Chains A and B, each alone.
Chain A
């Protein structure tokens, strides 16, 4: 049972345009969410997070939106750059839990120059 789902395995976007990566979750106890970026042959690196008390968090070109009623979050990258080409994972956790995260299956983003 996949509690965190990324339904798009891949996405291609033109350089300079917006990239939107989506993530859905099923567990209503999740209240902290993160996005990671992973390049080949490297470990995932933390990108941005959001707590359930917010519906938006912004950091430079990256913005994460959270829609709790729809159990949906999205990552917006504006403008997209070729260096953003990577696999993006969303992850979720529940406060009061064991500090572990449930990861989605990932979306491979390709930004075309």
Chain B
């Protein structure tokens, strides 16, 4: 079974702080993704990575950056947290081989910026 682990379930930070959200997958997947989920807006893609040290912007990258130094780990960074970044953050991974495959999600990090 694929396991995608997000380091924190709940996180409370202050405006202006630099925030790190960590995600680790154990299935040797090439692709990793960061989404945020907000009521009425569904899942919106922030960034994704299809290989180590490779990254591409998703639909809402502003205010975020990512890091992928190792294949199994994908970090989301809020450079200077703001209250409008309060949200549920979801990490996912998927393989490249075999064509399009479902993404496997972690349980999410509920982040509150005060």
Contacts and interface: CB of A to CB of B under 8 A. Distances in A.
Contact of B50 (A6, A34, A89, A98): A98
Q: Interface residues of A: mostly helix, strand, loop or mixed?
A: loop
Interface residues of B, number: 28
B100 A43 contact: no
B58 A104 contact: no
Contacts of A34: 102
Q: What 5 A-B pairs come out closest when comparing CB atoms?
A: A43-B105, A105-B42, A46-B102, A103-B43, A32-B100
Nearest to A33: B100
Contacts of A100: 33, 45, 48, 58
Interface of B: 4, 9, 31, 33, 35, 40-45, 48, 50, 56, 58, 90, 92, 94, 96, 99-100, 102-108
A61 to B, nearest CB: 19
Interface of A: 6, 9, 32, 34, 36, 41-46, 49, 89, 91, 93, 95, 98-106
Given A99-B31, A99-B100, A100-B45, A41 B108 contact: yes
